[in-house]
């Protein structure tokens, strides 16, 4: 077997957004280590600076001087925020700004204006915020005029996105009274991301009470328990509380590690990744479970996990809780033998591109037998791919670009229209991927 390729996981995108937001809302100075440096985080930092926070890089750390939002400063001028293509920035900031009285315009770029926000803005409207959509009803760009949040009972439908709830939660401690958030709808998308919000808020001094309904009563429960409950049996309560400045180190990103974990299984060299938290609350840690179920050999040592070249077989997986690793699993399943069925993830159509149709169209070009389903896809693997040169479209989506790289290990010459779209979450991806290529006997350079 070829020698192991060593990789350090990049920082968690989701935890970086939350750390920056909590620190920026706190009173005093916070020290953040390991915050991801990518296009999406630049957008969040820029939005927070527009609210009055100071975010200063010193060496590899960020010093954040928060605005002390609990003292209810007012935005005297209308504030215009560019959230770029970052859904997390858009949905989290759209809620957070309404806690500070003022007028806010939120706009984005590319696909962002086709990613809905109406369930979130409905919840904010019921709390006294006035919302106007500039182009399409329910989508950015939007203008919000807020007198500040009054708290009370709010309902939210999370079938499309958990980001709506994360936004409401982050804003809620700055309301004048307690906020009770009741979940409605048939299902909750991407529930693990809510744990990242709760954990980060707790680190910055704000507790959230999570409760489940038992008959006519409500009882405290833990996040993992709520994952299996109907949404209408879950509520969250946030009391007014100031965010307290603190220190936080951001752990490694399981989503962006997924390409390398997959590479370990489908290539000819093991891949060893350090910097990942084995007991992380990140839902995309499920990547290891999927690999294991597909037959991959996995070993943990100290802080590193190694995935070894393995004969993979198809699996049936519900990926509602971990949508961001669907493109990775789809590409990996092309190397397996038998059918892989990905289900539970209808919300994939609302990402940076339609992440059901996108992978199906593009992976087909590489000879992958793949079919779309309303809530996922089916991949019928033959144990490998027939080498060929393929022009593939990224649809401007970083996860499409990074997942297609995996096909190179099956002898596919992947030519992407827009490889630089990885900068959304992982600007250094191609440099790190070059190590995988070299370790597998290919040249370092990826051919765009
Ligand atoms: O809150 C977050 O940090 C995120 C939540 C998920 O979105 P949805 O809840 O919209 O599925 C995920 O896809 C996104 O990359 C990051
Ligand atoms: C969906 C994603 O991000 P966001 O929603 O923040 O744009 C992603 O990173 O895959």
Predicted local confidence at residue 222, as pLDDT? 95
Task: Provide the terminal-to-terminal Cα distance of the chain, rounded to the nearest Å.
Answer: 29
Query: Beta strands 271-274 and 5-8: pairing type?
Result: parallel
CA distance 235 to 146: 24
149 upstream amide cis, omega within 30 of 0: no
**Is the CB of 12 inside a 6 Å radius of any atom of ligand 2?**
no
Instruction: Report which bound ligand comes closest to the CA of 193.
Output: 1
Q: What's the per-residue H, E or C state across 308-365?
A: ECCCCECCEEECCCCHHHHHHHHHHHCCCEEEEEEECCHHHHHCCCCCCHHHHHHHHH
Which of 47, 424, 429 gets mutated to test ligand 2 (max ligand atoms within 8 A of its CB)? Answer: 424
**Is the CB of 328 inside a 6 Å radius of any atom of ligand 2?**
no
Give distance in angstroms: CA of 351 to centre of ligand 1: 9
CA distance 32 to 202: 15
* Token couple for 312: 């993979």
Give tens-digit pLDDT for 60-89: 899 999 999 777 677 778 999 999 999 999
Which of 88, 193, 424 gets mutated to test ligand 2 (max ligand atoms within 8 A of its CB)? Answer: 88
Three-state DSSP class for 182? strand
Annotated binding site for phosphoenolpyruvate: 13, 87, 115, 163, 355, 399, 424
Predicted local confidence at residue 303, as pLDDT? 83
* Token couple for 145: 């005029």
Structure ipTM:
0.99
CA distance 404 to 392: 8
* Token couple for 47: 């939005």
Q: Ligand 1: which atom is nearest the Cα of residue 347?
A: 11
Q: Which residue's C-alpha comes closest to atom 14 of ligand 1?
A: 88
The superfamily CATH assigns to domain 311-439 is Enolpyruvate transferase domain (3.65.10.10)
What is the DSSP code string of 247-310? EEEPPB-HHHHHHHHHHHHHSSS-EEEES--TT-S-GGGHHHHHHHHTT-EEEEETTEEEEE--
Give distance in angstroms: CA of 163 to centre of ligand 1: 6
Give distance in angstroms: CA of 142 to centre of ligand 2: 19
User: Catalytic site residues?
Assistant: 324
Contact 389/362 with Cβ under 8 angstroms? no
What is the DSSP code string of 148-195? ----EEEEEE-SS-THHHHHHHHHGGGSSS-EEEEEESS--SSTHHHH
Give distance in angstroms: CA of 281 to centre of ligand 1: 13
Give tens-digit pLDDT for 336-365: 999 999 999 999 999 999 999 999 999 999
**Chain-centre distance for alpha carbon 296:** 25
Nearest alpha-carbon partner for 285 in 337, 324, 250, 342: 324
Residues of the chain with CATH 3.65.10.10: 6-241, 311-439
Q: Ligand 2: which atom is nearest the Cα of residue 17?
A: 6
CA distance 16 to 13: 5
CA distance 219 to 211: 5
CA distance 111 to 119: 18
Buried b (16+ CB within 10 A) or exposed e, 409-427: bbebebebeebebbbbbbb
Nearest alpha-carbon partner for 243 in 11, 53, 83, 36: 53
Would you say domain 6-241 falls under CATH 3.65.10.10?
Answer: yes
Instruction: Report which bound ligand comes closest to the CA of 116.
Output: 1
Nearest alpha-carbon partner for 33 in 260, 243, 269, 203: 203
Buried b (16+ CB within 10 A) or exposed e, 19-57: bbbbbbbbbeebebebbbbbbbbebbbebbebbbbebee
pLDDT < 50 regions, the chain: none
- Tell me, yes or no, if the pTM score tops 0.95: yes
Q: Is 74 exposed, middle or buried (0-12, 13-18, 19+ CB in 10 A)?
A: exposed
CA distances from 161 to 44, 213, 230 (A): 18, 22, 16
CA distance 266 to 337: 12
Annotated binding site: 13-14, 18, 87, 115, 161-163, 190, 324, 351, 355, 399, 424
DSSP 219: E
**Is the CB of 87 inside a 6 Å radius of any atom of ligand 2?**
yes
Instruction: Report which bound ligand comes closest to the CA of 425.
Output: 2
Q: Ligand 2: which atom is nearest the Cα of residue 425?
A: 9
Give distance in angstroms: CA of 397 to centre of ligand 2: 9
Q: Which residue's C-alpha comes closest to atom 4 of ligand 2?
A: 87
Q: Is 431 exposed, middle or buried (0-12, 13-18, 19+ CB in 10 A)?
A: exposed
Secondary structure element (H or E) that encloses residue 44, with its range: helix 39-50
Give distance in angstroms: CA of 238 to centre of ligand 1: 21
**Is the CB of 425 inside a 6 Å radius of any atom of ligand 1?**
no
Instruction: Report which bound ligand comes closest to the CA of 38.
Output: 2
**Is the CB of 259 inside a 6 Å radius of any atom of ligand 1?**
no
Contact 111/353 with Cβ under 8 angstroms? yes
């Amino acid at each position: 077997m070829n020698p192991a390729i060593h990789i350090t996981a990049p920082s968690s995108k989701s935890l970086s957004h939350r750390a920056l937001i909590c620190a920026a809302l706190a009173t005093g100075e916070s020290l953040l280590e390991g915050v991801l440096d990518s296009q999406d985080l630049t957008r969040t930092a820029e939005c927070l600076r527009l609210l009055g926070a100071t975010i200063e890089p010193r060496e590899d750390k960020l010093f954040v001087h928060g605005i002390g939002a609990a003292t209810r400063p007012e935005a005297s001028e209308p504030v215009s925020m560019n959230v770029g293509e970052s859904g997390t920035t858009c949905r989290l900031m759209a809620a957070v700004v309404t806690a500070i009285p003022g007028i806010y315009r939120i706009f984005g770029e590319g696909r962002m204006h086709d990613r809905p926000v109406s369930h979130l803005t409905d919840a904010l409207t019921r709390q006294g915020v006035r919302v106007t959509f500039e182009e399409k009803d329910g989508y950015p760009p939007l203008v919000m005029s807020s007198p500040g949040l009054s708290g009370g009972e709010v309902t939210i439908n999370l079938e499309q996105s958990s980001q709506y709830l994360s936004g409401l939660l982050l804003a809620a401690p700055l309301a004048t009274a307690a906020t009770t958030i009741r979940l409605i709808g048939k299902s909750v998308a991407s529930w693990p991301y809510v744990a990242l919000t709760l954990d980060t808020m707790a680190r910055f001094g704000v507790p959230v009470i999570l409760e489940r309904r038992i008959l006519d009563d409500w009882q405290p429960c833990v996040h993992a328990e709520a994952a299996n409950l109907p949404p209408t049996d879950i509520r969250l309560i946030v009391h007014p509380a100031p965010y307290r400045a603190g220190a936080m180190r951001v752990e490694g990103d399981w989503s962006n590690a997924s390409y390398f974990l997959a590479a370990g299984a489908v290539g000819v060299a093991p891949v060893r990744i350090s910097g990942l938290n084995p007991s992380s609350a990140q839902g995309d840690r499920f990547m290891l479970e999927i690999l294991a179920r597909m037959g991959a050999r996995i070993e943990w040592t100290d802080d590193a996990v190694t995935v070894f070249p393995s004969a993979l077989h198809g699996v049936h997986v519900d990926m509602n809780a971990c949508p961001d690793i669907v493109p990775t699993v789809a590409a990996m399943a092309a190397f397996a033998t038998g059918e892989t069925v990905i289900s539970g993830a209808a919300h994939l159509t609302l990402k940076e591109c339609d992440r059901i149709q996108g992978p199906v169209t593009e992976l087909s070009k590489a000879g992958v037998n793949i079919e779309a389903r309303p809530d996922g896809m089916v991949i019928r693997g033959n144990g490998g791919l027939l080498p060929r040169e393929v022009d593939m479209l990224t649809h401007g989506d970083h996860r499409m670009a990074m997942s297609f790289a995996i096909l190179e290990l099956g002898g596919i010459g992947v030519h992407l229209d827009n490889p630089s779209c990885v900068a959304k979450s992982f600007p250094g991806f191609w440099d790190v991927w070059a190590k995988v290529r070299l370790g597998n006997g290919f040249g370092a350079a990826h051919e765009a």
